[in-house]
Structure 1
Amino acid sequence: MVMYVAVRVHDMVLDLIRYLSYKENFVTISNDDEGTSPHQNRVRRLAHQNRTMKQTQQDDHMDMAQVRTLVACDCDIQSWVLHPSFKLMRVLHLEGCRPPRRDWHGLKNLGILLHLRYLGLQNSSKAPWKFTYYELPKEIGKLKFLQILDLEASSIRVLPSSVCQLTQLVCLRGCRDTCAPDGSFLRTVISLEYLRIRIDNLDEESQRQIIKDVSNQSEIRVLCMTNESEIPKEFGGLRNLRTLYGFRVHMDMDGGWCSLEEIGPLSKLWRLTLHGLENVSASSFAETARISSKEHPEYLKLQWSRSGCMELRDEIQKQQQQVAEEVLEKLCPPPHIHHLNIKGYFGRTLPNWMMVVEAFSFTSLIILKLKDLPCCTKLPDSLCPLPSLKLLVIKDAPAIKSVGSEFQASTSAAFPNLTHLTLEGLCEWEEWDWEEQTVDVTAGTMAMHALGYLLIENCKLSCFPPGLANNKRHALRELGLRDLNNLTSVENFPSVVELDVFDCPKLKRISGLSRLHKIRIARCPKLEVLQGVPSLDSLLLHDTTMETLPGYLACVNPRFLRLTCSKELHDSIISGSSSECEKINHITKHDIDYN
């Protein structure tokens, strides 16, 4: 696992570092067409950022033969070609750069970089263009000393077959779509510690060969099969494995594919994802995985297929639901798990280790996500005492109709460190029993007292319980309310700074948000009252069906209003002659558009 550590230094030390870096030409940084180094003739480390890279006269004057490192971030490289003098380069990293979609020859000289140890071709969310398309030339096979090939988000679909010649490769990280070239490309690569690749483009025999070769990599720590393909046998011998993503459970009785039993000996696993758990026919198979005995657990994802649930019918449904319940009971995580993700589980009840407070002893659990639970009728009762839980997501649980007081327990011990809560897709949820606590309770001792972000989406709640909406709750800053068809009012959230209210057709009143700074309202046609918001700075209103501006705009005084409305209303306001203008004339800045 890669860890990044930030270090603070004294200003005088920082000045010294900068001075020596400049004097010794530690790195040449270019943010435009001119470099910043005083020693352009002896460049060692070259960095480009946010510029158009191309072969220039300046490059020809620099001694490119001495360059050891080239890093380019968010650059246009459509006319750039790797300099033929870079023969001593050790590191080449292109991140968020923009090559042409086709016929790019920027790396045509890659084969001359015989000393290269690291090659990184990555995308970047910060780049001004949305996608980056790189290509790997077949000459990559000449890089005999290459140790790290990082293609994260590179859009490279298939590796060239010459990758098999990279015998010193330690890390091969493809993007989620990067496929293996053939079944034998790892046969001579014997030092791998990190492998992320797809193999579902290959036939069954080739897949088996790859897994057999992987099994011979005694030092491999991270294995990511991003396609969630079925893994052949010869896998349980990877005793040093720390991370395994994309393990798809297969119960083929002919013994040709890897089963949960082979997970059992992998006691050093830190991160594990299991997919296709609907294929497990008995809890005894789940028990062989020995999930609870892993030594250093950090992340566990347990996933059932949605199709496995959709195909259930009547008695078959009851039988398979019972099997799913028994299987999840046996897949109890280790006590020190940090992140647990359960998805697609179609049992009717959650396991005892989630429902019984005495049995739920995961004191290190920080993140819990429960998604796609079509048959569960009750939220887990044992979560509230968890001392480390910070993020809880419950999504797409349509069978839940009410949330009882036992969920949050209404005590000072309930969710003491929970900061983020998402309740989404509980589409039949109508009631939340959470009474306001006694007058002696302070903001620091109430249930969920640390809650800073709350999102509630797609349910039938008509109002919020007094235990949630009260003036003693001081930590809640962001509140998101979406697709709440029965909600009529939002009141008594004095600490909320940002509020999103989308698609609440019966909402009539918003008040008592004394610190509200920014509000976004979309498609809430019956909203009549917006008051008790003295700190409001920004109001974004989106409704393309409204014929007139809502009256509450005249009662608030934000600095900025962004309005998206119908073309007719837009034209009426822009003309300046409409009476609608009077409702917003007092607002300093407007941005009015139509859709």
Structure 2
Amino acid sequence: MAEAVVSFLVERLANLLVGEVKLWCGLSGQLEDLCTELKRMQRFLRDADARQDEGEMIQAHLAMIREVAYDAADIIDTFAFKIASQKNSNLRKSLKRHSCVFKELVEFHQLGSELEAIKSKISSFTLSFHQYGMKSIDEQEVSDGTYKRQPELRRSYSHIEEDVVGFEEDIKKLVEELVDEKKTCPLVAICGMGGLGKTTIAKKVYHNVNVRHHFDRFAWVYVSRQCQVTNVLRGMSYKLISFSDVGRDQILKLTNEELVKEIYQIMQKKKCLVILDAIWSVEAWNRLSPAFPLRNGRSKILITSRVQEVAKRADPGVLIHEARSLDEEQSWQLFQKKAFPQRDEPELHVHTNIVELGKKMLRRCAGLPLAITVLGGLLAKKHSLHEWELVNENLNLYLRRGKSYDEFSEVSKVLALSYQELPYRLKPCFLYLSHFPDDSDIPTRKLIQMWMADGIVSEDAITEEVEDIAETYLYELIDRCMVQVAKVGSTGRVKVCRLHDLMRELCLLNAKRENFFEVIHQQNESMSVEYTSSSTPPVLAANGRIRRLALSVDRKDSKFVLPSLTRTEACSHLWILLYSQVRRFIVKDRQLKHVFNNFKLLRVLDLQGMESPVPLKLPKDIENLIHLRFLSFRNVSVVTLELPSSIGNLKFLQTLDLSKNSLAVVPNVIWKIEGLRNLYLPRCCYNFTNKMQLGNLRNLQILVNFPAEMSPVMDLLKLTNLRKLELSDPRCFDEVGKSFKTSGTTLSRLQSLSLKNTHQGFTKEISLTELLLGCPHIHKLHVECKLMNLPTPNQFPPSISKLSLEDSELEEDPMPILGKLPNLNILCLIRRAYLGNEMVCSGRGFPQLKSLVLNHLDNLKEWKMDIGAMPCLSRLEISDCDKLMFLPRELEFATCLQQLEIKYMPFQFKKKFDRGGEEFHIIQHVCQVVL
């Protein structure tokens, strides 16, 4: 980690030195000298980082280096800000005044003194490496500060549908237990240590075709160690309670007692399967169990837990299935899938010595699927016998350093080695995941934006965008099986990822050791610091400074912000401040003023989920956060959020997120933040001049809710680097299209276009043709407004892979046109997208379609489909199409169809597809069926 911080500094300095920087007072030479010293240090740090487990002295030495490097980063960023301020203001003119000249000379002299002190410390640290026997490793990867990424990364992501080896009998027994109505005990438990595959087994059971046909309704909820009862109950309610009975908004208003009553009643009336994943304590079960009619006999509950006592105390007659480790043969089968992903028959193509060495290392995993998967992911990047031998040698050294030699200790070391073996570029990326709550979904776009803001990802990309480089970092962690994929988008990009709980413990442990992140968790009236399962207090750096802080809130508490930050001295050097809340938290402007005035080095400030009982006007002191790169007020519960004009002084800001808010006052200063890359505006925003210029934001890549009422459309055409654009005012759609046509300009880099109608009174039909001509390379198109008609197939960009139509009110069958789009993967026709009563898919239509959603097509009576249509269809969802009588019989020959969901349809329609129903033969080959 010290290596990663120093590498970041080298790149930061290099950028300053090659840029247009008119340095003062001889600082150019000092910066060059500091850069030279840092490069010298780099050659030793790779060896030192790898050997820090050998003794506390080395660890302490690295900790001091890391903190000095952080201090240098603060100084350099302050200097960079001054340079940026000079370039973007009339400061040069004001320098003619003698007082300003004197002030600048004093400031730069002070900077020079600070740089000289840092350089001296780094020089002494570098010399001291010899005392510890550290070697200078002059590798290209270290010396030039670049990271050699693999040219091709696996994109199949088998992690979503986990590889199952050795669990087949377990799954079969559990399925039989759940569907056997003679069994009186409603509770089944899968127990065992972390990493044994409990969740994987539960998922396979949950999606089993027999289980899907047996039960009426299903709910999967993750409980977690903290057990947020309200969230768990709501999660079950959303899945079990039909929205025709209780609306989603109504569920949000229900108290815990009311939620318990609703769940209890539905589980009595219907055959329900509820899976409680990762329930840790008897107390958690006792708080949830009133929702379950345990003597009903119709509904069943399946729990996964590391603690058998939870299951035994829940019900004396519980069936406990003990998850077991894999035997040698099963371990090897799973290992091959991960270590040799590109080979169908690994042993026929792999050197015999590699096979023997792999089996030898595999014994260290003790049959634990997670450890096998991680080891395989680590070795998948090694392509020679020599590289495998080095991993084996490092593994042996790592194990010998351990204090105990039991099986789990060895397994822990296998997982730990996966972190130790990470390239230095990936270590901070992995540790950054430590602030996300246990088993939470991690939105990858936000994660990448935070990485960039923190300086984790290189800023000097020439041939690639920084976002693309960051994405390859994420894919590398996924390919090493250290991060799991939770959701993949229509273009194959990972949209959501997550950490296995054991990998999260590893992440927290190393974040603690590296003083990388401090996570403070508040529950009830107390606060605790979370780093390991025992929540041991963090060991701060020698100078007691905290650089990254995540505050996790479990309850509404207006006193939360200030007490959590009482150690202002320790927090004054904060780079990152996040609120990883579970519940909303109340904040007042004076508390924000405290943050703005005391944490002036902040790079990331995430206040997502905060709320205020009164309109909230942000203090002008936000301009003190001159280093800020990421600022989020996403989904805040505030009547009005007013930004001050001083926000235009945040020269380094890359991401400003105000989305999912009801109303915001945004002054016409955003155009000053020329480096802005991501701008998320609320659907309703205004300012007192009714003017907002955005044409100056040439680096902008994401623009959500373009403010058409306040900003000229021609500004939009200047944003040629846009990748994602969301327009929410339908009154401007035609104007944008005409502007494309008259100017001849296209947004050639745009990949995602969304057209949403937020004006309920607007009923005018719009044309898509001119809009699409200006966006020739989009992959995703979402249209949520009334259309004149569909463009012809050749007027659609051929790159479109996902298309959503909502409220389009098309009168002609859209399928003949849409079926000719060559790369369409996902099609969603939602809520009056089509008003006709017949829909026909021709024999060669939709050659690449994998997912089809038909929702709320009120008039649709008949859906016809020729044999050969949709040959790749794997997922079909039909809901709220009340007049639809049948599914096409040709679906019986749709051999790729794996998942079918029929929701909120008339009882008679669903009855046809029950086992024994007249249309059951059409869907009997489908693995996952939800009725």
Query: TM-score if structure 1 supplies the norm length?
Result: 0.60
Q: Which residue of 2 aligns with 1:341?
A: 726
Amino acid at match of 2:801: T
1:35 aligns with 2:406: no
Task: State the 1:366 CA deviation.
Answer: 0.7
Q: Which residue of 2 aligns with 1:498?
A: 875
Task: State the 1:520 CA deviation.
Answer: 3.2
Residue 646 of structure 2 aligns to a residue whose secondary structure is: coil
Q: Which residue of 1 aligns with 2:667?
A: 260
1:552 aligns with 2:919: yes
1:168 aligns with 2:573: yes
- The match for 2:702 among 291, 299, 309 is 299
Task: State the 1:114 CA deviation.
Answer: 2.5
1:489 aligns with 2:863: yes
Q: Deviations over 1:295-315 (max 9, x none)?
A: 2111111177xxxxxxxxxxx
Change (3 A) 1:475 1:231: same
Change (3 A) 1:548 1:364: closer
Q: Identify, as 1 or 2, the structure richer in helix.
A: 2
Q: Which residue of 2 aligns with 1:409?
A: 792
1:332 aligns with 2:716: yes
Equivalences, count: 442
Matches of 1:500 and 1:87, distance apart in 2: 45
Matches of 1:268 and 1:167, distance apart in 2: 26
1:362 aligns with 2:747: yes
Matches of 1:551 and 1:205, distance apart in 2: 60
Equivalent pair of 1:242/1:269 in contact (CA under 8 Å): yes
Q: Which residue of 2 aligns with 1:430?
A: 811
Q: Which residue of 1 aligns with 2:633?
A: 225
Q: Which residue of 2 aligns with 1:318?
A: none
Ranked by relative contact order (alpha carbons within 8 Å, sequence separation 6 or more), the top structure is 2
- Gaps of at least 5 residues in structure 2 are 1-7, 9-146, 154-380, 421-430, 439-498
Task: State the 1:25 CA deviation.
Answer: 2.3
Q: Deviations over 1:32-53 (max 9, x none)?
A: 993217999x999999x9xx9x
Residue 649 of structure 2 aligns to a residue whose secondary structure is: coil
Task: State the 1:89 CA deviation.
Answer: 5.6
Matches of 1:278 and 1:258, distance apart in 2: 6
1:192 aligns with 2:574: no
1:520 aligns with 2:924: no
Q: Which residue of 2 aligns with 1:352?
A: 735
Equivalent pair of 1:230/1:247 in contact (CA under 8 Å): no
Q: Which residue of 1 aligns with 2:852?
A: 479
Matches of 1:555 and 1:276, distance apart in 2: 44
Matches of 1:153 and 1:341, distance apart in 2: 31
Equivalent pair of 2:825/2:850 in contact (CA under 8 Å): yes
Q: Identify, as 1 or 2, the structure richer in strand.
A: 1
Matches of 2:865 and 2:546, distance apart in 1: 61
- What is the RMSD computed on CA atoms of the aligned residues? 5.1
1:15 aligns with 2:392: no
Q: Which residue of 1 aligns with 2:770?
A: 382
Residue 332 of structure 1 aligns to a residue whose secondary structure is: helix
Change (3 A) 1:100 1:16: farther
Task: State the 1:144 CA deviation.
Answer: 3.4
Residue 737 of structure 2 aligns to a residue whose secondary structure is: helix
Amino acid at match of 1:297: L
- Gaps of at least 5 residues in structure 1 are 53-71, 117-142, 252-256, 305-323, 438-445, 528-540, 565-595
Q: Deviations over 1:66-111 (max 9, x none)?
A: xxxxxx952699xxxx99xx9966246779xx99777575659876
Same amino acid, percent of matched pairs:
14
Residue 369 of structure 1 aligns to a residue whose secondary structure is: strand
Q: Deviations over 1:257-294 (max 9, x none)?
A: 974321121111100122364535776x13xx2x2221
- The match for 2:623 among 201, 215, 218 is 215
Aligned pairs for 1:101-250 (under 5 A) are 105=528, 113-115=539-541, 144-151=544-551, 158-159=560-561, 160-162=564-566, 164-165=568-569, 166-175=571-580, 177=584, 181=591, 183-197=593-607, 201=612, 207-208=618-619, 211-212=620-621, 214-226=622-634, 227=636, 229-246=641-658
Q: Which residue of 1 aligns with 2:476?
A: none
Query: TM-score if structure 2 supplies the norm length?
Result: 0.40
Matches of 2:905 and 2:618, distance apart in 1: 54
Q: Which residue of 2 aligns with 1:391?
A: 780
Q: Which residue of 2 aligns with 1:418?
A: 800
Change (3 A) 1:21 1:364: same
Matches of 1:248 and 1:92, distance apart in 2: 28
Amino acid at match of 1:332: L
Matches of 1:100 and 1:205, distance apart in 2: 26
Equivalent pair of 2:662/2:682 in contact (CA under 8 Å): no
Change (3 A) 1:163 1:225: farther
Residue 341 of structure 1 aligns to a residue whose secondary structure is: strand
Change (3 A) 1:153 1:447: farther
- Greater displacement, 240-249 / 487-496: 240-249
Task: State the 1:458 CA deviation.
Answer: 1.5
- The match for 1:448 among 821, 835, 842 is 821
Q: Which residue of 2 aligns with 1:64?
A: none
Q: Deviations over 1:134-153 (max 9, x none)?
A: xxxxxxxxx83221224589
Matches of 1:265 and 1:91, distance apart in 2: 32
Amino acid at match of 1:236: G
Matches of 1:420 and 1:29, distance apart in 2: 53
Residue 235 of structure 1 aligns to a residue whose secondary structure is: helix
Q: Deviations over 1:340-377 (max 9, x none)?
A: 1233x2x5452422355525611111111223343152
